[in-house]
């Protein structure tokens, strides 16, 4: 069964900020990173539950999963046939609070 992937405005902003930051050093690397990010997100159409629970999941009290792409965590939730991408965070950053989701 294929899931529908939806991307939150916060996740779009996260991706744009990361892209712009990387673009300062190398436009080519930033474009390659972004294209890979899109492919990683689209891979969630199939078997999104293959990804482990994020550390935030227990503290927030709801199921939040993560897919690691390079040095970024794609944080998402799964409900019925929809994958909702919530945030895209660098792995060096602190865990998210419920306010940030």
Q: pLDDT digit string (tens) for 21-57?
A: 999 999 999 999 999 999 999 999 999 999 999 988 8
Q: pLDDT digit string (tens) for 59-95?
A: 888 899 999 999 999 999 999 899 999 999 998 876 6
Domains of the chain, residue spans: 4-91
State if pTM tops 0.85.
Answer: yes
CATH T-level fold of 4-91: YaeB-like fold (3.30.2310)
pLDDT at position 96 over 70 = no
Nearest 5°: CA angle at 92, between 89 and 98?
50
β-pair type (82-90, 4-7): parallel
Instruction: Name, in order, each residue with C-beta under 8 angstroms of 45's C-beta and a sequence gap of 6 or more.
Output: 2, 3, 4, 5, 83
């Amino acid at each position: 069964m294929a899931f529908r992937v939806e991307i939150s405005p916060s996740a779009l902003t996260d991706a744009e900020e990361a892209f712009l930051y990387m673009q300062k050093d190398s436009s080519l690397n930033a474009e390659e990173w972004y294209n890979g990010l899109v492919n990683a997100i689209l891979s969630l159409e199939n078997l999104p539950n293959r990804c482990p629970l994020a550390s935030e999941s227990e503290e927030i009290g709801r199921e939040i999963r993560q897919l690691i792409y390079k040095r970024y965590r794609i944080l998402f939730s799964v409900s019925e046939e929809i994958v909702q991408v919530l945030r895209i965070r660098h792995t060096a950053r602190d865990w998210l609070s419920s306010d940030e989701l």
